[in-house]
Amino acid sequence: MQMPPDIARLAEAVVTALTAEGLTISTAESCTGGLIAGALTSVAGSSAVVYGGFVTYANEAKIAMVGVPFGLLRAHGAVSKEVAMAMAEGALAAAGTHLGVAVTGVAGPVAAARKSPWASSTSRWPAATRPGTCGRRSILPGRASRSGMRASSRR
């Protein structure tokens, strides 16, 4: 699969900045299924800064791979700021990198079928850690597809 040019440019900019600062990064991805790590590792020389990524699509994977507490998932749901931050902190701890980045969200017809509060929108919550954790929420109008969510993450 060929990387869209704007994603390739962004990934190259991230790898260049990390290299210049001597920093490393790991990812914990749910709805993007590893696409962030894939974009970063498509850049020549990225092995110096990219440790790797955890694809934590299922809640069980979030618990097992990056240590998201079950109680946090139960209390807030997988598509929440709290879980996204726990995923980023878990990636950071598991990989031992300088930065941990996470994304979780919902897209497509499953949300509507479950009558999810997210059914009319697509949401993603990236979070980065070290020395602290921050989060960002984006909501797309209407029922966006996974490809729409991925496209919006370029903005």
Domain 5-152 has CATH 3.90.950.20: yes
CA dist., res. 94 & res. 90, Å (int): 6
11 within 8 A of 37, measured Cβ to Cβ: no
pLDDT on residue 44: 96
Residue 69: phi, psi to the nearest 5? -65, 135
pLDDT on residue 143: 43
| pLDDT in single tens digits along all 155 residues of the chain | 688 899 999 999 999 999 999 999 999 999 889 999 999 999 999 999 999 999 999 999 999 999 999 999 999 999 888 898 899 999 999 999 999 999 888 765 555 555 555 444 455 566 666 666 665 555 444 444 455 545 554 44
Residue 102: phi, psi to the nearest 5? -135, 155
Structural domain boundaries of the chain?
Answer: 5-152
- Does residue 4 have a cis peptide bond before it, meaning omega lies within 30 degrees of 0? no
